[in-house]
Structure 1
Amino acid sequence: MEMYINKFTYDYDEKGAVTDAQVGLYGNDKDGQYVSCNLVIKPDELGTKEDGKTAKTFNDVTINDVSTIAKNKMISYLQGDKKTTDITTDTSKDA
């Protein structure tokens, strides 16, 4: 299924610095299956510069870079990667 961007916005703090990007993704296939999600990409998800030590900022990446990060994040959520999901299941029984 091909995924497409249908929303891309930056959020700013009171000093005008970008705090995160919101990315909307959607896709559908020939069988009518449909996926739609909105993800928030934080600065710590942008990776590091070529030196491997300095964190990238939103000024260092393109919209395509951020959309790729969002697509990978969505795939990780769908696969149930414990590191990126915060969905919990209560398996305890009420007495």
Structure 2
Amino acid sequence: MIEHIVLVKFSPNTLKEHIDEVIRRTKALRGVIPGLIDLQEGHNFSARSQGYELGLTVRFTNIESLDQYQVHPKHKEIRKYMNEIGLLDIIVVDFEID
């Protein structure tokens, strides 16, 4: 199984409503992407966030499923929307779990 962790930083001009829309669109991927087992996402409330406002964890059955997710049209639409609303930075960590 693969764990995919993403932290996202947006422009100070990005509205909370825009980030809420990212969350809504991402959660809608459940049941759409083959091999996607679980998806959790939300606003970061930690004071230690270093400006990263959004956290996402996704579990996949295998690396091939993660690869399919990356090129899936729905995932690409979300990334395009994030760029439009002021994406500044993304940190991604992928690892295999037992």
Do Structure 1 and Structure 2 share a fold, with TM-score over 0.5?
Answer: no
More RCO (CA 8 Å, sep 6+): 2
Larger Rg: 1
| Structure holding more strand per residue | 2
| Structure holding more helix per residue | 2
User: Please, what TM-score do these two structures have when normalized by structure 2?
Assistant: 0.28
